[in-house]
Amino acid sequence: MKKLSKIELRLSDVDPPEPEPKRTIYRDIANLPDPTKLGLTVRYFNHDDIDLYFQITGEADGYTFDTVNLGLLASGANAYRNLDEFASRAKPSESELADGELEETIKLILKAYTDSEYTNLKWTYEKYVTVHWINSLDPAWTVDMLNDFDDGTVQGWAGEVIKGGGLEVAVATDYVLSPPYSIRLRFNGESAGACAYENGIARLYKSITTPNKDKVFAIIDARIRPYADAYTESYSKNLKILKDDEVLVYIGKPYTAGAVNDTPVNKWIRIVVPLPKNQTFTLRVQLEMSNHCTESCPGAQYIYMNMDDFKIISK
C-alpha cells in the first residue's frame, strides 16, 4: 500500500485539512510573445516530523519546466513562493482555440529531500492544474470595456492607501502597451527609521458592472517598478486582484521585511480573472510594498505600478 505523502502543494490560501477549491490558471494569447512564459504562486507544506528540503518542477505536453530548489522548510511549516517564468511553451495558434478558448492540463511535482544536496528523496506530491486559454481578439468575444487611457484620462479608475504615505494616480508615458498613455500608481510608503523596513499597501480601483452573459473575464496588464537611489529602496511583496474584499488572484507572498521582490518586477505581467455575470462591484488591483532606507533616510520610498489596456470581455 502506497504511503500517504506528508507534504502538500496548494495554489490558494485555504488551509489544510479543508479541501482546496478547484484551481484554474486563465491566460489570454492576445499579443503575447512566442514562446510564452508561465508564472504562478505556490504554497507548500511540510506535514512531516522533520525539516525537509523542497523542490518543484512540472510536466505537460509541449511545455518546458524549470526545476526550482525551494530550500529548507521546518516541520509543520508552510511557505509561499512566486515562480516567475517557471514554464514555457509555444504560443497556441488562433486556430487551436475553438471559439476563442482552449483547455489543457499541467502536472506540478513537489518533492521533499532530507539533504541539502537534493539527493535523498523522501516524499513526492503531484498536483494537476487546468490551464484555460482564451483569445480576447477572437470575434466570439464581446469587448464590454476597454480602458487604454489614450484619451489622457484615468477613465474612472482611482487610488487609495490602505497603509502608508502619499499616493498619486495619473496617466503616464514611461511604460505603455498602447501609446501614448497608461495609468500609473505612484505610492510612497511611510518613511522608515534609519536602516529599518516599513510596509505599505495601496491600490487602484473602479466600479464594474458585468454583462449578463455566461462567461465574463477581466484582463489586467500591469507592470511594477520598485524605486532605488543612494539612500532609499523599495520592494514589491504581493499583488492581489479583489472583487470588493474577495481575493480572486494572489501573486507573491505574505509580507515579510527584507530586500527581496516577491512578485515579478520591471516587466509587464498579465492576469486573467473570471468574473460573475450581471453584478456590480468594485474591482481592486492592490500592491503591498516594503521600504528600506540607509542611515541618511531623507524621505519616503516610492514604488510604481502601471496598468494599460484593461479589458472586460464576455460571451
Q: Which tens digit of pLDDT belongs to each residue from 238-271?
A: 999 999 999 999 999 999 887 899 999 999 999 9
Across residues 216-226, what is the average pLDDT? 97
Across residues 73-78, what is the average pLDDT? 98
Domain boundary among 100, 134, 168: 134
Residue 190 lies in a domain: yes
Write down the pTM of the prediction: 0.93
Higher-confidence residue: 197 or 291? 291
Question: What's the CA gap between 10 and 21, in Å, rounded?
Answer: 10
Higher-confidence residue: 292 or 179? 179
- pLDDT value of position 165: 79
Q: Do the beta carbons of residue 107 and residue 124 sit within 8 Å?
A: no
CATH number of residue 116's parent domain: 2.60.40.2550
- pLDDT value of position 271: 98
Domain boundary among 86, 113, 134: 134
Query: Does residue 29 share a domain with residue 71?
Result: yes
Query: Does residue 186 share a domain with residue 264?
Result: yes
Domain boundary among 103, 134, 165: 134
Question: What's the CA gap between 285 and 220, in Å, rounded?
Answer: 9
CB-count burial class (<10 Å; 0-12, 13-18, 19+) for 283: buried
Given pLDDT bands bounded at 50, 70 and 90, which one contains residue 291? Answer: confident
- pLDDT value of position 229: 74
Which residue range forms the structural domain that includes residue 171?
142-314
Residue pointed to by grid coordinates 516577491: 262
- pLDDT value of position 196: 64
What DSSP line would sit under the chain, residue for residue?
-PPPPSEEEESSSPPTTSPPPP-EEEEE-TT--SSEEEEEEEEEEE-SSS-EEEEEEEE-TTEEE--EEEEEE-TT-EEEEEEEEEEEEPPPPGGGSBTTEEEEEEEEEEEEESSTTS-SEEEEEEEEEEEEEE-TTSTTSEEEEEE--TTSS-TT-EEEEEESS-EEEEEESSS-SSTT-EEEEEEEEPPPPTT-EEEEEEEEEEEEE--SSS-EEEEEEEEEEE-B-SSEEEEEEEEEEEETTEEEEEEE-S---SS---S--SSEEEEEEE--SS-EEEEEEEEEEEEEE-SS--S-EEEEEEEEEEEEEE-
Q: How many domains does the chain have?
A: 2
C-alpha cell recorded at residue 25: 490558471
- Evaluate if residue 41 carries a pLDDT over 70: yes
Q: Which value, to the nearest 10 degrees, does the dihedral of the CA atoms of residues 153, 203, 238, 308 take? A: -10
Q: Which tens digit of pLDDT belongs to each residue from 86-97?
A: 999 999 998 899
Residue 106 lies in a domain: yes
